[in-house]
Structure 1
Amino acid sequence: MTECDDTHGCDTISRRAALTGALAILASATARPALAQTYPTRVMQLIVPFAAGGGVDVVVRVVAEAAGDILKQRLVIENRGGAGTVLGSQAVAKAEPDGYTLLAAPTTMVINPALRSSLPFDWKTDLVPVAMIAKLPFVVTSGLKLPAKTMKELEALGKTRGTPITFGSGGANTVAHLAGEVFGLVSGAPVLHVAYRGEAPALTDSMSGNIDVMFSTLAGASAHVKAGTLRALGVTTAKRTSLLPDVPTVAEQGYAGYDLSAWVALVAPKNTPPAVVATLNAAVNGALAKPEIAARLIEIGAEPAPDTTAALASFMAKDAQTWAGVIKAAGIKGE
């Protein structure tokens, strides 16, 4: 008797085979969603590679709290500044790719390769983009005792008093640092950069007059400007910001083409499961979609920028090329 002579047995075997195949397909199709549904099961660590209290730190904390509510787990912030954001970024690049150690990546991450001959990690291969958090315009501020009240007056001060314009930033080779160096180049005024471990201590020295000006995120400086403890000389983007509508842009004050800003994005170690990346992307975008979160970010000087993971990857690659071009054209020397 052939194996199909027994009709009842043949049908039973066929049904079992079909069922086995269907279950295999179902398991394959639902494997990733199942992982996404079980993640996260514990607290996540989010490293901010700057000191606490600066603009990036403030923005990240607002979004992290809202994203944590969506994930039903806490995103605990750890501030790990130093080495131009390399220390904190490296910690995440070397972490387990399980979705529980994440990085609030600043623009500095894609700038550093154009300024440093060697780095302990490669952001293009050791980290994966997850979600854009926000764009961060900058504002040039000074203490109230500085005689210069405009960018042109600042230029004149630097050219006539015999000492360079001292400007602070949240760290060497940050966007704020480069913004100040570019201003020195386009204005012809001598400038001297003073690096701090984060924006907060730099802002304090700016208010006290220990440095002339500060290139700061709006998120870090706007409250001080509104309180009258800092004077805003200009914003660094091509258009004025709604947060400080009366403050002219640097470009408006005679420096055509001056248009610089930063961003902060969520990234994870390489080999983080795609389902985990998708879950985190959805949580960040969900947080940014909340009207109260978007309003809070705008209030502190950030621009919400929800996007897909693929779009973020493309943006980061393009921005790295842009900054490399700026550094080369301006003749800025790295380490």
Structure 2
Amino acid sequence: MIMSGFDRAETPGFQRREVLAAALALLSAAAARPAFAQAYPAKSIQLIVPFAAGGGVDVVTRVVAEAAGEIIKQRFIIENRGGAGTVLGSQAVAKAEPDGYTLLAAPTTMVINPALRSNLPFDWKTDLVPVAMIAKLPFVVVAGLKLPAKTMKELEALGKSRPDPITFGSGGAGTVAHLAGEFFGLVSGAKVQHVAYRGEAPALTDTISGNIDVMFCTLAGASAHVKGGTLRALAVTTAKRVSLLPDAPTVAEQGYPGYDLAAWVALVAPKGTPPAVVSVLNAAVNAALVKPDVTARLVEIGAEPAPGTSAEFAAFMDKDAEIWAKVVKQAGIKVD
């Protein structure tokens, strides 16, 4: 089963110069727009991250938000509002005033939840508007140093030999990390048990201490722990190895062909947000993503910058929602 991230090849004008030129043109054009657009942004912008602080989505969001804030001359104030598989934070933005001052750092979970939950308090297709893709987030399977398994095949053997299932953590029920673990159990036949946390950071803490066996985590959240020697990387979940952890083999090359999973983080706003405001925000994010220091920082923490238009992002979300719905159905996962 192939999971598609925001593929650079699908983004016309990905070249740095073209993206930067387009972003600067949009920012300049804002001065010629109606009074509302000219005044925006006139104050700080609340940016809700639907996870606890310290995880991959949070780290990536903060890097890009700081740079984008410098571009539009206003601060993005990050508020971490985790819980309910990202529903709590996402709902807050879906119900907010569409004035451009309350935004969501949307994770892949946003398009997965409709396949998992029957009573969502909002509909991302009708209550939210896409603004800009930020980055693709590869995942890594990490374990505490006390766990005897050092490869995915050894992890499978452990899950089949002992009476208790392999416990794996994630930043919330229904997240990509949750589905990645369940999907591994499906393709390997190993017994697995999901443990949901209010974000990646607390799950990582319990993985390091040995309270849970493994975690399917973003590179952005786990890479520092792997390099620091407090966690062992068993595999990366993408089809190809990643430059940040070149010695970590893929899940697929360890005997699970077709296993290819990744997540993303993007900027979305409440439905009804003026198109001029969306354009300003999209341009700011794109300009931030092609700044050399931002690009270097994202790559350093395990994220792949993914600039593009809001229309391209909208089309991508529709496609990704269909793909994840198939995975959910195949794995038979429900969270309510």
- TM > 0.5 fold call: yes
Match of 2:288 in 1: 287
Match of 2:173 in 1: 172
Match of 2:189 in 1: 188
Which has the higher Rg, Structure 1 or Structure 2?
A: 1
Please list the CA deviations of residues 152-204 of structure 1 after superposition, one character each: whole Å capped at 9, or x if unmatched.
Answer: 00000111111100000111100000000000000000000000010011000
Query: Aligned runs of 1:213-292 on 2, under 5 Å?
Result: 213-292=214-293
Q: Contact 1:158/1:191 (CA < 8 Å) preserved in 2?
A: yes
Please list the CA deviations of residues 189-237 of structure 1 after superposition, one character each: whole Å capped at 9, or x if unmatched.
Answer: 0000000010011000000101000110000000000000000000000
The 1:281–1:30 alpha-carbon spacing in structure 2 relative to 1, beyond 3 Å, is closer
Query: Aligned runs of 1:41-52 on 2, under 5 Å?
Result: 41-52=42-53
Q: CA deviation at 1:332?
A: 1.8
Matched position secondary structure for 2:68: helix
CA distance in 1 between partners of 2:196 and 2:248 (Å): 25
Residue correspondences, number: 307
Q: CA deviation at 1:97?
A: 0.5
Match of 2:22 in 1: none
Q: CA deviation at 1:329?
A: 1.6
Matched position secondary structure for 1:132: strand
TM (norm. structure 1) is: 0.90
Match of 1:311 in 2: 312
CA distance in 2 between partners of 1:67 and 1:168 (Å): 32
Q: CA deviation at 1:37?
A: 2.9
Matched position secondary structure for 1:146: coil
Identity %, equivalent residues? 83
Match of 2:18 in 1: none
Match of 1:156 in 2: 157
Matched, 1:123 2:124: yes
CA distance in 2 between partners of 1:271 and 1:201 (Å): 35
Matched position secondary structure for 2:146: coil
Determine which structure has greater relative contact order: mean sequence separation of CA pairs < 8 Å that are 6+ residues apart, divided by chain length: 2
Q: CA deviation at 1:34?
A: 4.7
Matched, 1:324 2:328: no
Match of 2:203 in 1: 202
Q: CA deviation at 1:32?
A: 3.0
Unaligned segments of structure 2, at least 5 residues: 1-29
Q: CA deviation at 1:333?
A: 2.6
Matched position secondary structure for 2:62: helix
Match of 2:3 in 1: none
Match of 1:88 in 2: 89
Q: Contact 2:165/2:193 (CA < 8 Å) preserved in 1?
A: yes
Match of 1:101 in 2: 102
CA distance in 1 between partners of 2:210 and 2:258 (Å): 29
TM (norm. structure 2) is: 0.90
Which AA in structure 2 matches 1:147? P
CA distance in 1 between partners of 2:231 and 2:334 (Å): 30
Q: Contact 1:158/1:190 (CA < 8 Å) preserved in 2?
A: yes
Please list the CA deviations of residues 291-326 of structure 1 after superposition, one character each: whole Å capped at 9, or x if unmatched.
Answer: 110010000010000010000000001100100011
